[in-house]
Structure 1
Amino acid sequence: MSSKVNFSFDSALGIYYAGQLVSGTAELITERPKTIRSIYITVNGFVETRWQESVEKPGEDGKLVKSMETHTATEIYYSSDKYVYGQSGGSQLELPKGKFVFPFHATIPPHAPTSFNGTHGQIKHEVTLTIDRAVRYNNTFSQCFTVILPNDLNVRREHLQPLKRIEEKTFWWGSIFGGNKPMVMDVSTSYSAYVPGQKIHFHLVMDNQSDVQCQDVKVRLFKNVTYRGKCGDKEQLKTTEERLADKHCGEVDKHNKAQFNDFLMVPPTTPTTLGERDSIRVSYTLRFIAKTFRLHGGGDMVVDFPLVIGTVPLLGSAEDKGPGAQKTAIPNGTMQALSAPNFQEDVSTEHFESNTFKPRYPVYLFSGQPANANANGAAISPIPSLYPKAADSLPAHPVHYTANPASPVAKPPAAGATKAPPYPVQAPAAAAAGNNFEVLGFSIPPGYQPTPTAPADGSGNIGWK
C-alpha cells in the first residue's frame, strides 16, 4: 500500500472517560500522488455481537434437519464525521505525495459503555481516516481507543457489606458405613465490591465432619459475559464464563477442621456492567470450592458469591486487613487519599473475530509507590488529561511535515450523479466571495486550478493513480 496513517491521541495511551473530549491527530503519509475525491475522519463508538448455533427444524418431509442460526445485534452509540480534504460527492482532486497531519476531535457521550473485547462481541471506540478514491476502492485506516464508564463503588452503600455464608453438604459415601455427617464451609470477605489491583481478603473455615476427604480448597474469580442477539424476531442470550484468578488453599482430611486466611488479587479486567438491557453485560462470581473424589458421590461442594468490580475503590478499603479486622473509620464529608491508578491491558485472552485490541483498565496499588507516576515520582491524575503536562511524557522528536493541501471547491455534480456519503455529515460551509477563499481551514492560493474531472464517457487522458 502506498499510504499509511499514524494516529496520535492527546490523552496518554489513548484512554478516556465517558463524557470527555477525545482528540488527536492523524498523520497521513503518501508515497506517490493520488487522485481522490475527499478525505474524512470518523470518530464513533458501537457495540456488536455475533455467534452461531446449531438448531434442528422440521424439513419438507417432516423430519428434523440440522441448520445453523446466526444471532447478531448492533447499536451505534455516537458517530462524528469531518471532511478534512475535499467535500462529499465532489470532483476529483490531486493529493500530492508527502506527510500530512489532520486534527480530529469528538465528544464521548456521558453514558457511553466501557470498551470491551470478547468471544462473541465487542464494545468498540475507534477513529477512522477514509480516503475516498475515484473509481478505485477506498483506503481506510482505523485505530481503537479505550473508553471507561466510571463505576464509583461508594455510590451504593451495599458494597460495604461483607460476603458471608455457611453451607454444608452430605455424601452418600458416609451413609454406607453408618455415618452421615456433613462437610461444613464457613466463608466471608470484607466487602462485596472491589477494584482491579485490590486484594480480596477472605476467611474460610472448613469443618470436615464427613467420611470424605477434601482434596483441595480452591478460591476462584470468574468473569461472566452475557451477549444479547437476535435471529429474525427471536432474541437469544449467550453466556460465557472465564476464570481470571485462582488460589489453592490446601486439603482437609476427613474428621478434621482447617482455617484459611488468605487473599485473591483482582487482575486488570472490565468493570461490572451497570445497565440491565445492554447488548453485552459483564458480571463476576467469587467461587469457593471443596474438591472431593467423584467416587464418593454428591460432587464438589461449591459456594458462589456475586462480586462487583468498579473503577473507584471503597473509602477505607485500602486498609483492609481481612474479615473480622477493625475497619478504618472515614469521617463524613472527607475523602480518602488514594494513589492514582495506572492503566493496564485486559488480562483476558478472548477477542472478537479479527479484533485483537486490548482495552486498558484502571489498576490500583494500595501501598508503596503510586501505581502511576512520572519520572520525578509524582503521581499522575487517575483521570487521563486531555493535554498532558510535559513532565508526564518524554519530549517528542521534531518531525517535518508537508503543508496540508488546500481543498478546492468542487463543481456542482450533474443531476443524479451525487453519491451519498457512508455516514451522515454536516453541510459544508459556504465559500466566501473572491479568489482567496478558505475551505475547512485551509487557504487556497490565487490561480489554483483543480484537477479536471474525468469525462462521463470514460475518454480523456487522465491517469488513475
Structure 2
Amino acid sequence: MSSKVTFAFDNNPLGVYHAGQVISGTAELTTDRPKTIRSIFITINGYGETRWQESVEKAGADGKPTKSIETHTSTEIYYSSDKYVYGQSGGSQLELPKGKFVFPFQATIPPNAPTSFNGSHGQIKHEVTLTIDRSVRYNNIFKQCFTVILPHDLNSKRENAQPLKRIEEKSFWWGSIFGAHKPMVMDVCTSYSAYVPGQKIHFHLVLDNQSDVQCQDVKVRLFKNVTYRANSTAKEQLKTTETRIADKHCGEVVKHNKAQFHEFLVVPATTPSTLGERDPIRVSYTLRFIAKTFRLHGGGDLIVDFPLTIGTVPLLGSGEDKGPGQTAPVNGSVNSYPGAPIFQEDVSDEQFESNTFKPRYPFYTFGQTGANGAANGVPAATQPSLYPKAEDTPPHPKPTPGPGPHKIPPYPTNPPASVPAAAPVANLPPYPTNSPAPAAAPVGNFEVLGFSIPPDYQPTPSAPGAAAPSAGIGWK
C-alpha cells in the first residue's frame, strides 16, 4: 500500500444529505513513503450521465440495409467545487512526507440538485474526490460517494390525497365456444394515489368472475419505470425500463365465483418520483393489479394499471390509513406523522457500469411504536424531520443547557458559530441529533496540512458503505 484516504462526514455517518444542505467533513490521507507532488485538491460535485447501445439498420453505400451498433450518451454537471488544500494549481514540485494528513472539505449542495440514482443505463452521482497531482507520475485519485435527496412533500399537491379507483372487465373467446359471453370484472381502489417508502398501500379488490375461465391468481405489483434521455445525436433518444420492486399474491378465483381481497403492499426503499420534466433520468411508478388466466383461454390477463407517486414526506394523516373508506380524518394530531424516517439502501440491484454505490432513501416505520408512542425509539412529532437520521443509531438524550443561551442546530450540523449573549434559547429540533463521542489522544505519526486541528483529534473510521479494509485505497 502506497496511499490511503478515509473520508468522514461531520455528524452524518451515513453520508445522506438533502438538496440545499451544507456538506462538510474531512479526508484523512495516509502515506507510507514520501511523494513528489505539485498539489492536493478536493472536489465536491454532482453530475448525471446516461449511456446505452442499440442496434440500428441503415442503408449502405450499395443501397442495401446494414446493421450497426449506435451509442447514445448524455452528461450533465449539476455543481462542482474545487479546493486546493496543499500546494496550488500548476505550482512547483513539493515533497509530501510519509505520515498521516487531514484535510477539511465543505460545500453547499444546490437546492435543486437531483436525487442520487444508480440504474442500468445511467446514474445521478454525488461524490467527494481527493486528487494528488503528481508531477512525473500519474495522479492518485480517491473518491467517496454520498447520497443527496431532493425533498418531495406529498402534501404539496391535493391530487396525491385522492384515492385510486377503477372498474375493468374482460371477455374471453374460450367461453364463447360454449355459448357463454359473460366477462371477468375487477373493481379495485386504494386510499391514496401517493405514498412514501415503508408505507402500506392498502387496497380493496373485488373480482367477479362471471366467465368460464379460471383466475389462477390475483397479483398486485409495484413497478419502477425509468426513462433515460440522451442527446448524442441530432434527435433526442429515449430508453425506458420497467422493474418490479414489490409483489403481492392474493389467491385464485374459480369460474362463476366472486372474491374480495382487503390486503396491502409495502413500498420498499426506492427512488422518489422525479419532479423535473427535462431531467436526463426520470423515475415514475405503476401500481398494477393482475387477474392471471391460462393463456390457451385467449384474451390474456385482466390488468388494471394506476400511476403512483412516491415521495419523501408522507401525506398528513396517512399513517392512520386502514384501507379505502376507513381512513381516519385529518385532525392535525401528534400522530399524523409516523416520526423521523430511517435511511435504507435502494432495493434495486441495478447499477450503471462499474458504479456499485447504493443510495439511501428515507424509509418510514409506520405503526412500529414503543411503550411511549415512539417509532423505533424516536419520539413522535407533529411534522416529519427534513434532515437525515442515522439508521440503527440510538438517539442521545436531550442536552441539559448550561449557563447562557444555547442553540441546537438541525441534523446534520455545521461547525457551531458563536451565539450573542442576548440571543433567545432556541427550541430543539423535532428529533434528537447525534453528538460526537469524546475523542481520544492522537496516535502515531500525525501531521495536519491546510488547517489547524484540535489537540484531541482522533483519526476517523472508514466511511459507511466502503469495503473494509481496502476502502479508499488508490493507485500504488
Structure 2 stretches lacking a partner, 5+ long: 379-392, 399-407, 416-431, 454-475
**Residue 160 of structure 2: SS of its match in structure 1?**
helix
The CA distance in 1 between the partners of 2:109 and 2:172, in whole Å, is: 56
Pick the aligned partner of 2:447 from 403, 407, 423: 403
1:5 aligns with 2:5: yes
Amino acid at match of 1:276: E
Deviation by residue 1:398-440 (Cα, 9 ceiling, x = unmatched)? 54362235xxxxxxxxxxxxxxxxxxxxxxxxxxxxxxxxxx6
Q: 1:338 to 1:387 in 2, by over 3 A?
A: farther
Alignment partner, residue 468 of structure 2: none
* AA aligned opposite 2:63: G
1:122 aligns with 2:123: yes
Deviation at 1:394, TM superposition (A): 5.4
Cα shift at 1:62: 1.2
Give secondary structure in 2 for the equivalent of 1:358. coil
Secondary structure of the corresponding residue to residue 248 of structure 1: strand
Q: What are the residue-to-residue correspondences of 1:124-203 with 2, within 5 Å?
A: 124-203=125-204
Contact 1:16/1:384, CA 8 A, preserved across alignment: no
Inter-partner Cα distance in structure 2 for 1:161 and 1:442: 56
Amino acid at match of 1:403: E
Q: Distance in 1 between matches of 2:85 and 2:51?
A: 34
Secondary structure of the residue that 2:226 maps to in structure 1?
A: strand
Q: Secondary structure at the match of 2:89?
A: coil
Q: Which residue of 1 aligns with 2:383?
A: none
The one-letter code matched in structure 2 to 1:385 is P
TM superposition shift of 1:385 = 1.4
Name the aligned partner's letter for residue 412 of structure 2: S
Shift of 1:329: 2.5
What one-letter code is carried by the residue in structure 1 that aligns with 2:394?
A
Amino acid at match of 2:48: V
Normalised by the length of structure 1, the TM-score is 0.84
Shift in Å at residue 175 of structure 1?
0.6
1:307-331 deviation per Cα after TM superposition (whole angstroms, max 9, x unaligned): 0000000000010000011422225
Structure 1 residue 197: Cα displacement = 0.4
Describe how 1:33-112 pairs up with structure 2 within 5 A: 33-112=34-113
Contact preservation (8 Å) 1:375, 1:392: no
Shift of 1:335: 8.8
2-structure distance, mates of 1:372, 1:225? 35
- Give, in whole Å, the separation in 1 of the partners of 2:171 and 2:329: 40
TM-score of the pair, normalised by structure 2: 0.82
Quickly say closer, same or farther: Cα 1:26–1:290, change in 2 above 3 A.
Answer: same
Secondary structure of the residue aligned to 2:248 is strand
Q: Which of these two proteins has the greater Rg computed from alpha carbons? A: 1
Whole-Å Cα distance in 1 between the matches of residues 57 and 377 of structure 2?
54
1:184-238 CA deviation, whole Å, 9 max, x = no partner? Answer: 0000000000000000000000000001000000000000000001332121100
Unaligned runs of 5+ in 1: 406-439, 444-464
**Could you tell me which residue of structure 1 aligns to residue 346 of structure 2?**
346
Asked if 1:254 is matched to 2:228, the reply is no
CA contact (8 A) 2:104 2:451 kept: no
| 1:382-393 equivalent positions in 2, closer than 5 A | 384-387=411-414
Partner of 1:458: none
CA RMSD of aligned residues (A): 2.3
Q: Is the 8 A contact 2:52 2:71 kept in 1?
A: yes
Deviations 1:99-136 (A, max 9, x none): 00000000000000000000000000000000000121
Aligned partner letter, 1:375: P
| SS in structure 2 at match of 1:137 | coil
Q: Is the alpha carbon distance of 1:371 and 1:46 closer, same or farther for their aligned partners in structure 2, counting shifts above 3 Å?
A: farther
Output the CA distance in 1 between the equivalents of 2:397 and 2:66. Answer: 66
Write the distance in 1 (CA, Å) between the matches of 2:212 and 2:48.
52
Rounded Cα–Cα distance in structure 2 between residues aligned with 1:226 and 1:118 = 10
Q: What amino acid maps onto 1:402 in structure 2? A: F
Deviations 1:49-95 (Å, cap 9, x if unpaired)?
00000011111111111111000000000000000000100000000
Distance 1:384 1:119, change over 3 A: farther
Partner of 1:309: 310
Aligned partner of 1:375 in structure 2 is 394
How has the CA–CA distance of structure 1 residues 213 and 43 changed in structure 2, closer, same or farther, with 3 Å as cutoff? same
Q: Which residue of 2 aligns with 1:446?
A: none
What's the secondary structure of 2:23's corresponding residue?
strand
Q: Which residue of 1 aligns with 2:276?
A: 275
Shift, 1:167, TM fit: 0.3
Letter in 1 for 2:9: F
Distance in 2 of aligned mates of 1:115 and 1:329: 32
**Which runs of structure 2 are paired with 1:293-304 in the superposition (5 Å)?**
293-304=294-305
In structure 2, relative to structure 1, the CA distance for the partners of 1:326 and 1:129 (3 Å cut) is closer
